[in-house]
A = this chain, B = another copy of it.
Amino acid sequence: MDIDRANHQAVQRMIEARPMLRSVAIARDVIPGLSGRKLLHAGPPIDWERMSGPLRGAVIGAALFEGWADDDQQARELAATGEIAFEPCHHRGAVGPMAGVTSPSMAVYVVENLTHGNRAYSNLNEGYGKVLRYGAYSSEVLEKLRFMNDEMGPLLSKALEALGGIDVKALLAEALHMGDEGHNRNKAGSLLFLKLLAPAITEVAGDSQLATRVLAFLGDNALSVLNPVMAACKAMADAAHGIEGSTLVTAMARNGTEFGIRVSSLGDRWFTAPAQTPVGLYFTGYSAEDANPDIGDSTITETAGIGAFAMAAAPAIVTFISGKPKDALHATLEMYEISASEHPAFTIPALDFRGTPVGIDLRKVVELGITPRVNTGIAHKEAGIGQVGAGLVRPPMEIFEAALLAFAETIGPEGKPE
């Protein structure tokens, strides 16, 4: 079996994918299998018992949002007694930042990969402060979710329809020339997103108050494009999944307790180990003691060749995550070591327009002892509080070793799949 050839095929599919943001829809209407009292969450599979604070908080919030429970205590009981089913977003073509909790009634972005036909989904970004994705579930959190679901979502969907969709790959390519890396820094991408949507929003809104509110909501949130970007990365990564003989990593995700990866040729298996705690900068009043272990599906960005892999494009990010601009440069340079290719669409001006490293090769990670770098937000470890900082983290090496071992077992003595 020619692993290099398989990896080449896989990474080419990832590169050639063309994710187009099509619409906003209600999750249960578009995500297969998301019905009844089921919640999707970030990272590999996990049950209520082992969930960390912020994921529990988001589960409680989603149960309240859905009306399954009247209060926090009732929501906890439902979750603890198996009345709520849990499944990773990744099992349903979805991704969500931080807790990633997506309930059947929630609005989600729908991304279609025009090249290969697969779809991916992500919930809407709530902005800053007390938000569900960081485990907050107070009435203001739920009120904002209702505004997003009932007012903003339908308007965005109509605007996207009027635009014929948004080419997220082109948007990302431009944002990387404007100091974004596409994961923790999405300032430029969010403005490009706003620019594309704004005239369509005013055109279809039929209500200038709503248009004003939505334009302000999107404009005030430098992460507004993160969720469509994540869905786009999921669509790209999924296009590379299922290639026989490939050692390419097609998913990296954390549930706040464990970090998990999936590999192109190893089907639906997760390889997991305890998640590490990010190192970074904390908001005033918080410190590393408050930090939850690494959480969220947003590592799909690094999986698809942006985020920390594109950090050389975003030297200003160090004001947010710590370090010096040269560290941002080095981050990208190091990631070339473990990547199968360089992305022709995502280029870095400061590196003479070299393509970002793309397609993490399990073999290289283990051989060189270099784990992928990840930019991330940091959640408070207790439910209901929210974000406390942002920083850098790496997945545990043992999951790559375990995956490589599993891969080796699929190869017969002749070097062919058994």
* Interfacial residues, chain A to chain B (CB-CB below 8 A): 177-180, 187-188, 191-192, 194-196, 198-199, 202-203, 205-206, 208, 211-213, 215-216, 219, 315-316, 318-319, 324-326, 349-353
Is B212 within 8 A of A195, CB to CB? no
CA distance A213 to B216 in the complex (A): 18
Closest to A326 in B: B352
Is B177 within 8 A of A199, CB to CB? no
State the number of copies, please.
Answer: 2
Contacts of A178 in B (CB 8 A): 178-180, 187-188, 316
CA distance A324 to B349 in the complex (A): 9
Contacts of A180 in B (CB 8 A): 178
Is B191 within 8 A of A202, CB to CB? no
Smallest distance from the beta carbon of A181 to chain B beta carbons, Å?
Answer: 12
Is B203 within 8 A of A219, CB to CB? no
Closest to A349 in B: B315
Is A194 within 8 A of B198, CB to CB? yes
CA distance A216 to B200 in the complex (A): 9
CB-contact partner of A194 in B179, B195, B206, B211, under 8 A = B195
Q: List 9 A-B contacts (CB under 8 A).
A: A178-B188, A198-B216, A199-B213, A199-B215, A202-B215, A203-B208, A203-B212, A208-B208, A211-B211
CB-contact partner of A179 in B325, B349, B351, B353, under 8 A = B349
CA distance A152 to B205 in the complex (A): 20
CA distance A202 to B215 in the complex (A): 9
CB-contact partner of A316 in B315, B319, B349, under 8 A = B349
CB-contact partner of A350 in B202, B208, B325, under 8 A = B325
CA distance A210 to B239 in the complex (A): 42
Apart from the given pairs A198-B215, A198-B216, A325-B351, 8 other A-B contacts in the complex at a CB distance below 8 Å: A178-B187, A188-B188, A191-B191, A194-B194, A195-B219, A198-B198, A203-B208, A315-B350
Smallest distance from the beta carbon of A174 to chain B beta carbons, Å?
Answer: 8
CA distance A318 to B211 in the complex (A): 37
CA distance A341 to B352 in the complex (A): 29
Smallest distance from the beta carbon of A318 to chain B beta carbons, Å?
Answer: 8
Smallest distance from the beta carbon of A321 to chain B beta carbons, Å?
Answer: 13
Is A199 within 8 A of B179, CB to CB? no
CA distance A318 to B350 in the complex (A): 11
